[in-house]
Chains A and B, each alone.
Chain A
Amino acid sequence: MKRAASLPARVLWNAFYWTYERATWQYDLMVVAILAFVWLTPPDWLNDPMASGCGPLGWVLAQLR
């Protein structure tokens, strides 16, 4: 008998095995996550060859320190 997967496992699987159409709330959520990664990750963390600095996330972390 198949055992029901836990909610976090199901969310992770659905994010990996993507079957949602465009313009659904799941798609919107993925877009927000991607844009957050692209814009908030400090370029220095990624060793970006063309951009430098800490970016917005680095600035927030510096303020918290």
Chain B
Amino acid sequence: MTFTGLIGRVFMLPLRLIINTCVRLRIHPNTLTFIGVLINIAAAWALALGKFMTAGLIMVVANIFDFIDGKVAVELGEVSQFGGFWDSVIDRFSDLSLFIGLIYLYAQLGRTDYVMITALAMMFAIMTSYTRARAESIIKKCKVGFMERPERIVLFMIGAFTNRMAAVMWVILVLSVFTVADRIILTYRELRDARQVAA
């Protein structure tokens, strides 16, 4: 088993308990998604105040909700197209709020350089989701590139807990640029191949 696979299994144990509790209480998955974004806004507030440790702890709680909503939906038999759409939209709000919290902090500190780095990281993080969503309306699957939402969220938490947010912003920015480029390349290739087959 790989290192990251092992970490995933270890974290799955307490999450399983929370999922089972939510299923027993029959909490609607869309409600869990919405609670997640509210808690993420609180994390963004803590980031804006420069309270990274508090922000990290709040992010952990928020992302438990983010993670379990889909699993609870499956177990309750509440999987729906609207649920998927709602989850995607709310995830973008969560992402944006964290970035905006950091941008506010760096602006308060008068650090235009990191305001720009964080704003660019935010732009490419959103473009990562957009390129996939748009690509999958014209090709079958567009799941390439390293920097997806789970990676981004874990990096945010690592940055907050270890006070290394600047390095984290650089990583998110560079790898998000690559991810967007990967998705454009894949879509171009798939459409070109389909055209050649048709000709």
A-side interface residues toward B, CB under 8 Å? 16-19, 22-25, 27-28, 30-31, 34-35, 37-39, 41, 43, 46-51
State the majority secondary structure of interface residues on A: loop
- Asked whether B164 lies within 8 Å of A43 as measured between CB atoms, the reply is yes
Give A18 to B69 CA distance when docked, in angstroms: 27
Q: How far is the CB of A4 from chain B (nearest CB, A)?
A: 19
Question: Out of B4, B170, B178, B185, which one reaches A31, CB within 8 Å?
Answer: B4
- Asked whether A17 lies within 8 Å of B50 as measured between CB atoms, the reply is no
29 contacts between A and B (CB under 8 A): A16-B178, A16-B181, A17-B185, A18-B146, A18-B178, A18-B179, A18-B182, A19-B144, A22-B4, A22-B5, A22-B150, A23-B8, A24-B2, A38-B162, A41-B167, A43-B164, A46-B166, A46-B167, A46-B170, A47-B113, A48-B164, A49-B106, A49-B111, A50-B52, A50-B105, A50-B165, A50-B166, A51-B165, A51-B166
B-side interface residues toward A, CB under 8 Å? 1-5, 8, 50, 52, 105-106, 109, 111, 113-114, 144-146, 150, 155, 158-159, 162-168, 170-171, 175, 178-179, 181-182, 185
